[in-house]
Chain A
């Protein structure tokens, strides 16, 4: 793990000693096996790198801090096979998190990701998932106070006989929280994608805004996509939407491009690029677009 002066590092024990009342301790650290806490105390751009450890990872952004984190996971590292990552964004803080998780093709990875945001805080997560023979993600996105925002923009590339399972909950228990999750993916060959999303709006969560979208492009005759976007709403002062789509490359668009001289394969690749780039359309996700282009080129070969 590399470090800068803007971040402080703690083992679980050290963190508990220093911040015994931090909610992260009771909620996550005490029940974990072992892990590392990265405490971002000042505005920073920070890059994580993984060593050969199965430790969990807790990232805290201090109140009012603006931080950008790059979490580009090494395909060769065993470290991230069974890992829980918890991101805690304090009041008024802003975090932009770039995650590329591309485990080695034969890896079986079961991971957990939690993003918890306090009042007026904002977490934006850009994620790209590719690789692994069986990758499972269990995610929780929670807002803890008025004005908390969680934005997730994710893409996945699944091919051969790979399995990709993504289970996510957008949890609204207090008023004035906003969550917005968009996940798009391509399933090729005989790949298997399972998406389980749920928006939970509690009885006290007035003024919540929640959006959940999952879109899939299937380009393999034997590829299977199962998508279950769910809503559970107990408050009427909310705006909640979800959408899911499973489709294939638009034949009319293919014809349009082919008529302009592109080979069908090239045209299809172009359309898939367009489909996925939309996920990383934000200006601050430009590096994710570059990483996606690289992965997509390999994927489509």
Chain B
């Protein structure tokens, strides 16, 4: 490997590595203690056995911290080899055209972050999490790990111990950021773990759309991406969090995402999972106060040697709350897609509505599709509906498209794109086009 790094931790995980990471970042004592406590929790928890097989993931063969370059706010100052990677991904170009701000994380650290002046002037903060901790210590301490505590699950504990990078977003009361903020996460080295930590706080009446993209080159050895994302939508705030995950097929993508929605707030997760060896991701919204609403729209595409175990969770803790989950999955070339979800309404609520719909498309006889929804309701005045279906591309649709001159491959791609239309409809135009292209790529060679 020709790349050089500012700092690279030894492979494996222990107290010394965790302390080194904290020292590298010059963190306050409470954060170092938090990391070490999380490490102990990570070590005490067993690997999950209820989902995809994680036995090929060797935690001792991973580098947990790798700093490639210092952070800049001008692309010209970013080292040429890293800049070229992001240029190839179209990030600087997109920033010019339709984004309010851009963050780019390369390995463990954010190497570029910029927010347009218009939003900075209104008090919007878009920085990496380390700078958030330095510059807004009270705000970070108030919310950090309160939504996803370290003991939440094994990989949340791991992230809590070794987190690095990610985004800290703060939107002041009443500010509506009407252009998306985008963060792009890139793993470039083999056998590395990326553990970004994102915290978004939307003050009352504010609105923000955050978009994250992820990619990595393919290596023979496995990499691990284990992020923790916490969202806080205060009264009447609106957060939309869009993910387009296109990791290479050697990446284990084990992510914990959760949002708290207060009175009349609205949280939307738009979640696209296209790559990785294994993805386990179940974005969650906790509807804490009356009037809060949640929407999760997701697509999972599992190709050869891929397992997409994705889903959604909504916890209704207050009356007059509502949620909708729409999950689409496509399995192709032996891939396995699973929807795993939970809708829960606690005792004593009134006027609660939840709707879950899961549609799966199986494109060949080698692939598999699973659905594991769970609904838990205590008390009356709660209405929860769940529907799921599994089907293949129908011969009638194919015949119709082919009789109009399309090749079988194009006809199939057209039908599949129609199947995920509800998802792409929720994306900015540029992403929708990209998704259709990704689907077409995934479909290549799948005819017959």
The residues of A with any CB-CB pair to B shorter than 8 Å are 201, 203, 206, 216, 218-249
Query: Contact check: which of B362, B373, B380, B390 meets A228 at CB < 8 Å?
Result: B373
Interface flag for B117 (CB, 8 Å)? no
- B386-418 contacts to A (CB < 8 Å): 386-392
Give per-residue flags for B360-394: 1 if the beta carbon is below 8 A from chain A beta carbons, else 0.
10111101111111111111111111111111100
Evaluate contact between A224 and B365: CB separation under 8 angstroms. no
Closest to B374 in A: A228
B348 within 8 A of A: yes
New contact pairs (18) apart from A219-B380, A231-B388, CB-CB < 8 Å? A218-B379, A218-B380, A218-B382, A220-B379, A220-B380, A225-B376, A226-B377, A230-B372, A231-B390, A236-B363, A236-B364, A240-B391, A241-B389, A243-B387, A245-B385, A247-B382, A247-B385, A248-B380
Selected from A206, A220, A231, A235, the residue in CB contact (under 8 A) with B371 is A231
- The answer to whether B347 has its CB under 8 Å from any CB of chain A is yes
Known: A229-B386, A242-B388, A243-B387. A248 touches B381 (CB 8 A): yes
Q: Known: A233-B370, A236-B362. Is A247-B390 also a contact (CB below 8 A)? A: no
Residue in B365, B379, B383 whose CB lies within 8 Å of A222: B379
**In the complex the two chains form, what is the Cα distance from A253 to B318 in whole Å?**
24
A218 to B388, CA, bound (A): 22
A-B pairs with beta carbons under 8 Å apart, 10 shown: A226-B374, A226-B376, A230-B370, A231-B360, A234-B368, A241-B389, A242-B386, A242-B388, A247-B384, A249-B380
A216 CB contacts on chain B under 8 angstroms: 377
Residues of B with C-beta under 8 A to A201: 390
Question: Across the interface, do B380 and A223 meet the contact criterion of CB distance under 8 Å?
Answer: yes
What is the minimal beta-carbon distance from A264 to any residue of chain B, in angstroms?
Answer: 14
Q: How far is the CA of A221 from the CA of B391 in the complex (A)?
A: 38
Is B380 within 8 A of A224, CB to CB?
Answer: no
Complex CA gap A238/B378 in Å reads: 35
Q: In the complex, which residue of chain A has the Cβ closest to the Cβ of B383?
A: A247
A248 to B352, CA, bound (A): 11
Q: How many Å lie between the Cα of A264 and that of B364 in the bound state?
A: 53
Query: Could you say which of A203, A218, A236 has the most chain B C-beta atoms within 10 Å of its C-beta?
Result: A236
CA distance A283 to B374 in the complex (A): 34
Establish whether residues B369 and A246, one from each chain, have CB atoms under 8 Å apart when the complex forms.
no
Q: CA A232 – CA B362 in complex, angstroms?
A: 12
Q: A248 is contacted by which of B363, B383, B387, B392 (Cβ under 8 Å)?
A: B383
Chain A's closest residue to B391 (CB) is A239
In the bound complex, what is the Cα–Cα distance between A246 and B384 (angstroms)? 5
- Complex contacts, B381 vs chain A, CB 8 Å: 248
A218 and B377 within 8 A (CB): yes
Q: In whole angstroms, how far apart are the Cα atoms of A228 and B384 in the complex?
A: 13
With a cutoff of 8 Å between Cβ atoms, the chain B residues found around residue A229 in the complex are: 371, 373, 386, 388
Complex Cα distance, B394 from A237, in Å, reads 9
Whether B370 lies near A236 (C-beta < 8 A) is: no
Given the known interface contacts A222-B347, A241-B387, A244-B373, the answer about A233 and B360 at a Cβ–Cβ threshold of 8 Å is: yes
- Neighbouring B residues of A234 by C-beta, 8 Å: 368
A224 to B390, CA, bound (A): 29
Chain A contacts for B384, CB-based, 8 A: 244-247
What chain A residues lie within 8 Å of B389 (beta carbons)? 240-242
Q: How far is the CB of B365 from chain A (nearest CB, A)?
A: 6
User: Hey, which chain B residues are within 8 Å of A248, CB to CB?
Assistant: 380-383
Of the candidates B375, B380, B382, the one whose C-beta lies within 8 Å of that of A227 is B375
